[in-house]
């Protein structure tokens, strides 16, 4: 009980500071799965709870305010890469996204190859669903039955290169808000000025 009281006091102090700075905060409320959290800014705080204005994964403001009991918070995180990206998207909403742009999707092998070739030509970020996870990437080479990718994290930084067979790719997306967000973050942080990696 004494440890819980100390945690709540430290939590309250952190949240008061977050209210003063106006920064985005990750609120983790599930001990058994720390990957699940909501993001918000602190509007009001008292001894028992906090009221936040929350944001969706594209940096858009959620319509309703969110009251949270301090006792329900398992932990918070500040100044993470995810929050930096979200703040960037929020600050530049709509400035870099093509108006009326519709996200394109390809699942058939011929369509997948055509989309990847177009993404390589136009230097566009794609999202690829493989056998397991989704990745963001730039296409560096499309060959006979394979594609060479520069994988990117959510801030647009190079996260390694990978060689895929076309048959490993289930779905490719391009020109959606998700892909444009990575492209925008990549330009805003200057990661698009680095050297490319490829094979000849």
User: φ and ψ at 41, to 5 degrees?
Assistant: -105, 150
| pLDDT recorded at residue 122 | 92
| pLDDT recorded at residue 200 | 26
Comparing 32 with 143, which gets the higher pLDDT?
143
- The 10s digit of each residue's pLDDT in 171-195 is 999 987 778 778 877 876 677 765 3
Domains detected in the chain: 2-91 (2.30.30.100), 104-193 (2.30.30.100)
pLDDT over threshold 50, residue 26: yes
Maximum CA pair distance of the chain?
A: 65
Which contacts (CB < 8 Å, 24+ apart) does range 87-94 have? 87/23, 87/24, 87/59, 88/59, 88/184, 88/185, 88/188, 88/189, 89/58, 89/59, 89/181, 89/184, 89/185, 90/24, 90/55, 90/59, 90/60, 90/61, 91/59, 92/184, 92/188, 93/59, 93/60
% of the chain with per-residue pLDDT over 70:
88
| pLDDT recorded at residue 176 | 78
In the structure encoding, which two tokens stand for residue 199, read together?
Answer: 């094979």
State the pTM of this model: 0.56
Average pLDDT of the residues of the chain: 85
Question: What mean pLDDT is predicted for residues 7-34?
Answer: 90
Question: What mean pLDDT is predicted for residues 3-8?
Answer: 86
pLDDT over threshold 50, residue 198: no
| pLDDT recorded at residue 34 | 67
d(CA 18, CA 131): 40
| pLDDT recorded at residue 192 | 72
d(CA 161, CA 200): 14
Among candidate residues 121, 106, 123, 104, the one with its CA nearest the CA of residue 169:
106
Q: pLDDT band at residue 33, thresholds of 50, 70 and 90?
A: confident
Comparing 178 with 9, which gets the higher pLDDT?
9
User: φ and ψ at 137, to 5 degrees?
Assistant: -160, 160
Q: H helices within the chain, ranges in order?
A: 2-21, 81-91, 109-122, 177-188
Question: What mean pLDDT is predicted for residues 125-144?
Answer: 91
């Amino acid at each position: 009980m004494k440890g819980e009281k100390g945690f709540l006091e430290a939590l309250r102090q952190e949240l008061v500071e977050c209210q003063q700075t106006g920064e985005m905060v990750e609120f983790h409320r599930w001990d058994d799965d720390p990957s699940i959290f909501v993001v918000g800014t602190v509007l009001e705080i008292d001894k028992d709870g906090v009221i936040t204005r929350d944001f969706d994964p594209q940096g858009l403001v959620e319509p309703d305010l969110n009251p949270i009991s301090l006792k329900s918070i398992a932990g918070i995180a500040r100044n993470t890469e995810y929050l930096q990206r979200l703040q960037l998207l929020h600050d530049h909403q709509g400035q870099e996204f093509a108006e009326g742009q519709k996200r394109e999707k390809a699942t058939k092998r011929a369509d997948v190859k055509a989309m990847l070739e177009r993404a390589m030509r136009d230097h566009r970020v794609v999202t690829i669903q493989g056998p397991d996870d989704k990745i963001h990437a730039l296409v560096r080479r499309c060959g006979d039955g394979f594609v060479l990718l520069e994988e990117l994290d959510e801030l647009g930084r190079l996260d390694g290169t990978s060689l895929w067979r076309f048959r490993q790719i289930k779905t490719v997306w391009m020109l959606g808000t998700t892909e444009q967000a990575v492209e925008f973050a990549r330009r805003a942080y200057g990661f698009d000025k680095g050297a490319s990696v490829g094979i000849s």
